């Protein structure tokens, strides 16, 4: 049992090493990080429902996973084909496109979930002010 637990802790440590590698080496992850923090902060301010939180969290996780898969595929492509090659370019471009698709979808989902309550709050703030 102890060896099983040690192997699980080692696996988690390796996962965090991978996470740190992506944060350290991929510029787009800083955009993802900033936007994730902004969305979470906005969600708390807007007092999202549990269902909305579930969708937001799932959406963010999909974007992050796509970025991690993209980084992994790029590293593997560079290992297999260190020189420029048309197929290596296709591999990298397609995996980058997958990240783009998830990012655009997350923006649309964010607008659908956060947009209406945000507009309501802004409207209430404007109506409550002296203009």
Does residue 22 fall inside a structural domain? no
| Number of domains observed in the structure of the chain | 1
Catalytic residues: 67
Range of the domain at 102: 28-128
Does residue 17 fall inside a structural domain? no
- Each residue's pLDDT tens digit, 42-67: 999 999 999 999 999 999 999 999 99
77 contacts 56 by C-beta, under 8 angstroms: no
Does residue 57 fall inside a structural domain? yes
Q: Phi-psi region for residue 117, left (φ > 0), alpha (ψ -120 to 50) or beta?
A: alpha
Q: Give the residue among 54, 63, 14, 70 at the shortest CA–CA distance from 34.
A: 63
- Each residue's pLDDT tens digit, 61-95: 999 999 999 999 999 999 999 999 999 999 999 99
Phi (first) and psi of residue 55, to 5 degrees = -65, -45
pLDDT above 90 covers what percent of the chain?
87
Whole-number Å distance between alpha carbons of 70 and 92: 8
Place of tokens 């084909």: 81
Burial class (CB in 10 A: 0-12, 13-18, 19+), 66: buried
Map residue 81 onto helix, strand or coil: coil
CATH of the domain at 104: 1.10.287.3610
Please say if the pLDDT value at position 129 is more than 80: no
């Amino acid at each position: 049992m102890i060896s099983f637990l040690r192997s699980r802790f080692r696996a988690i440590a390796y996962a965090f090493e991978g996470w740190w590698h992506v944060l350290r080496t991929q510029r787009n992850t800083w955009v993802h990080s900033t936007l994730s923090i902004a969305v979470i902060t906005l969600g708390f301010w807007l007092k999202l429902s549990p269902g909305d939180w579930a969708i937001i969290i799932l959406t963010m996780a999909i974007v992050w996973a796509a970025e991690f898969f993209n980084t992994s595929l790029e590293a593997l492509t560079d290992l297999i084909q260190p020189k420029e090659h048309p197929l290596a370019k296709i591999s990298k471009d397609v995996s980058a496109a997958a990240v783009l698709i998830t990012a655009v979808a997350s923006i649309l989902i964010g607008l659908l979930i956060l947009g209406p309550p945000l507009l309501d709050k802004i409207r209430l703030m404007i109506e409550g002010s002296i203009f």
